[in-house]
Amino acid sequence: MSSKEIYALGEMPELGHVPKKMHAFAVRQDRFGEPKDAWQREVLDTPNLGPKDVLIYVMATGINYNNVWAARGVPIDVIADRQKKGEPENFHAGGSDAAGIVWAVGSDVDDIKVGEEVVVHSGWWEPDDPWVLSGKDPMLAPSVRIWGYQTNYGSYCQFAKAQSHQIKKKPKHLSWEEAASYMLCASTAYRQLMGWSPHIVEKDDVVLVWGAAGGLGSIAIQIVCALGGKAVAVVSDEAKRQFCLDKGAVGVINRNDFTHWGTMPDTNDPEWKTWMAGARSFGKAIWDCVGERKNPKIVFEHPGEATLPTSGFVCDTGGMVVICAGTTGYNITMDLRYHWMMQKRFQGSHLANDEQAAAVNELVIAKKVDPCLSETYTFDQIGHAHQLMRENKHFGNMACLVNATEKGQGRV
């Protein structure tokens, strides 16, 4: 076997041989903008490993919304942000979801072996962060970052650099692209639904899931179902209805049947009454799905500005709105009277810790949660896949092949 400086995609070097250079998709500051143009194929140096790091020969990558944001340079310029922290690279070689083969390990890594087939979860933190060392939730640590978004050398690289704690077992029944497609959304959804006790999913609990045919939502429906809850799905297109029912939703609401979206009018404005009528009829649509007058104990949020006033209103007394994004905007409004009188909780949530990632991975291994891979693209279509996501033209989760040479490889 040769020891070349760079290998073509899919041309596998001898196990453990790390070439000096690699193919990767990256964004640079002078091309921030639409994802289809911002993401470009480049040849980069293969990264060096620290003592607790692992190098992954990436077989396939998932596509996530965070790298739509990274491509546009909003809400933060991830390259400038890292440079402020002392990192020299003037590019962002991202990608937060990988399935592949462990190719090299740092000097302190003794629980992971070269050759293991793995997936990577994207919770990243400094291993010697005092908060982490004290045993507290690392997702609240000062050093926490999202791998492949706030760190470089993610899954759009032929060789990705991760920390050893991020490594999880690859479910054997999944192909490389299926295995690459779920972890970021699945672990985020799991923390939202199971990380904020006592507001966790229990038998017969109603959970309202926004964007239910999207990456997060499609997995959230299945987690709720696996835990015995009743997921009510919200979509914008009738073509997504059957998909949500097939994943286990008890009912589906088309948000286009309502018009009260966006910032809530001032409570003294006459328009507030119209808004409230819309929110009430949306609440009635939830009851119709559930078959009784039962409000959601948990509202699974991520659209933010457009939907939060409604989420706050329909949430049950003592229930929780749990939110991990503001895709439609960050300036949220809410009728506080309902919030305090009915003692609701409004909880932010961000990605997941190692235990939560492992727990949802077990649900996938047990075939209780399907990755909902809708489409697989080639390496050179990484920009295109992000553009589809930006334009809301996709279902479930998407993946791109990296070193895998065709779809369906990797199943055992």
Ligand X SMILES: NC(=O)c1ccc[n+]([C@@H]2O[C@H](COP(=O)([O-])OP(=O)(O)OC[C@H]3O[C@@H](n4cnc5c(N)ncnc54)[C@H](OP(=O)(O)O)[C@@H]3O)[C@@H](O)[C@H]2O)c1
Binding site for ligand X (CB under 6 A): 64-66, 184-185, 188, 210-211, 213-217, 234-237, 240, 255, 302-303, 306-307, 324-325, 327-328, 350-351, 389, 392
Q: Are strands 167-169 and 117-120 parallel, antiparallel or unpaired?
A: antiparallel
- Cα separation of the two ends of the chain: 26
Cβ neighbors of 24 (< 8 A, separation 6 or more) are: 41, 42, 43, 44, 93, 153, 156, 157, 158
328/409 with CB nearer ligand X: 328
Tell me the DSSP string of 132-156.
HHTTS-GGGSTT-EETTTTSSS-TT
Nearer to ligand X, 40 or 328 (CB): 328
Q: Which is nearer to ligand X, 101 or 252 (CB)?
A: 252
Q: How far is the CB of 260 from ligand X (least distance, A)?
A: 12
What is the rounded distance in angstroms from the CA atom of residue 77 to the CA atom of residue 27? 11
Pair type for strands 21-26 and 206-209: unpaired
User: Which one, 233 or 290, has the nearer CB to ligand X?
Assistant: 233
CB 4 to ligand X: min, Å: 37
Name residue 38's amino acid: A
Residue nearest to ligand X (CB): 214
Q: Is the Cβ of residue 93 or residue 233 nearer to ligand X in the bound state?
A: 233
CB of residue 234 vs ligand X: minimum separation in angstroms?
Answer: 6
Q: What is the spatial distance between Cα 409 and Cα 134, in angstroms, rounded to a whole number? A: 41
Cβ proximity to ligand X: between 240 and 344 the closer is 240
DSSP state of 210: T
Q: How buried is residue 75: exposed, middle or buried, by Cβ count under 10 Å (0-12/13-18/19+)?
A: exposed
| Beta bridge mates, 145 | 124
Pick the closer one to ligand X by CB: 44 or 360. Answer: 360
Cα distance between residue 46 and residue 33, in whole Å: 26
CB of 217 to ligand X, least distance (A): 6
Nearest approach, Cβ of residue 332 and ligand X (Å) = 13
State in angstroms the smallest separation of the CB of 389 from ligand X. 5
For residue 243, the minimal CB distance to ligand X (Å) is: 10
